Chain A
Amino acid sequence: MTEELLVQNKTVVVPGEPLAEGMGFLPSKGTYRDHEMIRAKRLGLVEIDGKVIKLVPLSGCYMPKTGDVIITQVFDVSFSGWRLDTATAYPAMLGVKDATSDFISRGADLTEYYNLGDNLVVKIINVTSQKLIDVTMKGPGLRKLQGGRIIKVNPNKVPRIIGKQGSMVSMIKFATNCKIIVGQNGLIWIDGTPNEELVAVNTIRMIEHLAHISGLTERVKTYLETQLGKKIEEVPPMEEQAYTPAPHPNYGEGEREHRRPQRYR
């Protein structure tokens, strides 16, 4: 039996492309086993970590995941809460008890809290196998958005836009003086002066476009400096934020997958 890697680390592969041959390799997120072969499930970058083969997707839609902070819009007000459009195939439900710490009496007019069309930053607390999404607004940074504008980006590029521990987005915020909230579902809320806001939007679009390139932070910094005509000094550490912590490297999207065995570390 042959044991062979068929692709190099960090190459772009297409769905069905063979990545490795042999039972010694383990398929992780975004890959699957087809007899002896490990193949790619979607378009993305291969990451080879010892014998574990993982794929970082470059396209595709957002799949709701517990713990994610997303930006949503109210599209229905019911007896017991609000239904939210998550910019995915699945609507989310915000129950009265998760919506606010205020006391809401029975039969109260819920539109006094959140009305149709309002944009809310919420956190996913539960996703069922049928993709019914429960969200909450209790938590730091979770709130109703006022003013500003919302842009949509490819949700797979969101980690790149946020950067390590939010470094990239902090830099944009610091440089442009804009308030920015990045939702894991690919919606980004930006509020600032028209000119600086435009720079922020263009920077985010650039990151989205160049997400697969390494050393992006430096490029973004230079871009921001030329656009704004000022030097970016030390970026202050991020204030309290509604960010999804970076997932464990092997944390799956609710799908069954192989955990990385200890010995390969």
Chain B
Amino acid sequence: MSMKDEQKQHVQKALQENLRYDGRKKDQFRAVTIEYNISKSAEGSARVKIGDTEVIAGVKMSVETPYPDTPDEGSLMVNAELLPLSSPRFEPGPPSAEGIEVARVVDRGIREAGAIDVKKLCIARAEKVWIVTIDICTINDAGNLIDASSLAAIAALKQATFPKYENNEIDYQTRTDTKLPMRKWPLAITVFKIGNQLFVDPLREEEDVMEARLTVSTTEDGKICALQKGGSTPLTPDEIDQMIVLAQKFGDEQRSKL
């Protein structure tokens, strides 16, 4: 038996007793803290800590020409960078598949929920719209980067205010009091599966040996706006139902901390 199988078995043994490596239960998050306005240069920023996992997110806004098919809508862009300082397994250079996945899952949740009222980002139809860019940087990876990133992105959006815009010029030094036109607060919660055990907020060790995971983005009115499945093992419809229930529950719990 390979080392990985042995480690998986060991994690599973603990999960069967509803006990995690750090003493939590299967359906229990580590302590979550959110800190706002951590960056001077970003229009909105937040630092999220879930246990030892730490992620920062910043929102930048710029004015550009809209896409031709949506002339009266602003747009959203999400970038995530898994910095080498956050884990020995991340390397500098172009984004890894893992990093792209984090960015896309966070992006999809915010976009498909219609979280930002993009019509209100229009300054002049087919000429000028606001583009909202979210940059996510991982500071420490102790597992569950997707949930931490999603929470950090939403927190940064919540705090963001428009810079001053006059005579077709943005003055980034002066910030207005106008907040982003937010309609929904979508949050991604990832539920993991090992054997027949489902659990949330994995540690790095648990993430390494997981069989499958499902990231469910939900909004405060109980709607599912995005899904992302990972891992090689398939999920039964029953398991997906349970995962969605868990994701909704923890989505609401985290949202209340915003």
A: residues with CB less than 8 A from B are 115, 117-119, 146-149, 191, 194-195, 197-198, 201-202
Contact = CB atoms under 8 A, between A and B. Distances in A.
Given A148-B10, A149-B10, A194 B19 contact: yes
28 contacts: A115-B2, A115-B3, A117-B2, A117-B3, A117-B4, A118-B3, A119-B3, A146-B6, A147-B6, A147-B7, A147-B9, A147-B10, A148-B10, A149-B7, A149-B10, A149-B21, A149-B205, A191-B10, A194-B17, A194-B19, A195-B17, A195-B19, A197-B14, A198-B19, A198-B21, A198-B22, A198-B23, A202-B23
A191 B2 CA distance: 17
Interface in B78-116: none
A117 B2 CA distance: 8
Contacts of B10: 147-149, 191
B13 interface: yes
B52 to A, nearest CB: 12
A148 B22 CA distance: 14
Contacts of B22: 198
A149 B208 CA distance: 13
A191 B19 CA distance: 15
A4 B213 CA distance: 64
A118 B14 CA distance: 21
Task: Give the interface SS of chain B, mostly helix, strand, loop or mixed.
Answer: helix
Interface string B11-32: 0011001010111000000000
B144 to A, nearest CB: 18
Contacts of A118: 3
B203 to A, nearest CB: 10
Closest 9 CB pairs of A and B: A194-B14, A117-B3, A194-B19, A147-B6, A194-B17, A198-B23, A118-B3, A147-B10, A149-B10
Task: Give the interface SS of chain A, mostly helix, strand, loop or mixed.
Answer: mixed
A218 B83 CA distance: 43
A19 to B, nearest CB: 33
A226 B14 CA distance: 21
Interface in B5-63: 6-7, 9-10, 13-14, 17, 19, 21-23
A202 to B, nearest CB: 7
A55 B244 CA distance: 55
Question: Taking each of B3, B21, B23, which has the highest tally of chain A beta carbons within 10 Å of its own beta carbon?
Answer: B3
Contacts of A146: 6
Given A115-B3, A117-B4, A201-B21, 5 more contacts: A119-B3, A149-B7, A194-B13, A198-B19, A202-B23
A147 B13 CA distance: 11
Nearest to B16: A194
Nearest to A114: B3
Contacts of A117: 2-4
Contacts of B17: 194-195
Nearest to B12: A194
B59 to A, nearest CB: 35
Nearest to B7: A149
B90 to A, nearest CB: 16
A190 to B, nearest CB: 10
Question: Taking each of A147, A195, A201, which has the highest tally of chain B beta carbons within 10 Å of its own beta carbon?
Answer: A147
Contacts of A197: 14
Contacts of B13: 194
Contacts of B3: 115, 117-119
Nearest to A118: B3
A202 B9 CA distance: 21
A194 B205 CA distance: 15
Contacts of B205: 149
Nearest to A198: B23
B115 to A, nearest CB: 39
Contacts of A194: 13-14, 17, 19
A146 B2 CA distance: 9
A115 B246 CA distance: 38
A117 B6 CA distance: 11
Contacts of A148: 10
Nearest to B19: A194
Interface in B169-185: none
A118 B6 CA distance: 10
A198 B19 CA distance: 9
